[in-house]
Amino acid sequence: ISALAYAGEVITRLEVEGNLRVESSAILATIESRVGLTYHADRGRRDIQNLYRMGSFGDIRVERGEAAGGVRLTYYVTEKEQITRVSFSGNKKVKEDKLRELINIKSGGMDPSQLSDVLAKIKDHYAEKGYHLAQVIPVFKKRADASGEELVLQIHEHEPVRVRRVNFIGNH
């Protein structure tokens, strides 16, 4: 049934499915649709945009269905994986404690959207130590206990960059 079939009908039920960490009440507080309001497809699109702005979901869809006296909206959400553990490999010149201090990850883990900042901080620190060619490669692994993902930061330090000679040309 198309969205137009429900246009102008009163919303009588709102449901949320698929959420694991984010409370249904937080999801319902974020959307504009409310029980008692008239259904409009534009509002449904804004609801989806608002939910994506929360930053917790990788996929969101809304299904409309018949309900007693009006229309039922069901919000199906798929939460983004949380990085619940971070480990390092290949780091010899910088201790793991220093790397953990640099990336400042809380005990609850981190959101994958923070990854580019984490990589930049580590590369910048290595550059300050003279390792301008250092590479940091993120590798994601599913955790056996299904509690999220492990992020392994593989560090290739390479040799430090040294200036051997400086030539001045044209300065008499």
Q: State pLDDT tens for residues 21-75.
A: 889 999 999 999 999 999 988 999 999 999 999 888 889 999 999 988 899 999 9
- Alpha carbons 143 and 151: distance in angstroms, whole number: 10
pLDDT at 6 over 60: no
State the pLDDT at residue 84.
78
Query: Higher pLDDT residue, 8 or 130?
Result: 130
Q: Identify whether the C-beta of residue 134 lies closer than 8 Å to the C-beta of residue 67.
A: no
Helix (H) or strand (E) holding 24: helix 24-30
- Alpha carbons 110 and 83: distance in angstroms, whole number: 5
Helix (H) or strand (E) holding 98: helix 96-103
* φ/ψ of residue 57, rounded to 5: -120, 140
Q: State pLDDT tens for residues 65-101.
A: 998 889 999 999 998 877 778 889 999 999 999 998 8
- Mean pLDDT rounded to a whole number for the chain: 86
Over residues 119-133, the mean pLDDT reads 93
State the pLDDT at residue 85.
81
State the pLDDT at residue 103.
84
pLDDT at 4 over 60: no
Q: Which of 159, 162, 142 lies closest to 151, judged by CA?
A: 142
- Alpha carbons 131 and 162: distance in angstroms, whole number: 9
pTM of the predicted protein model: 0.58
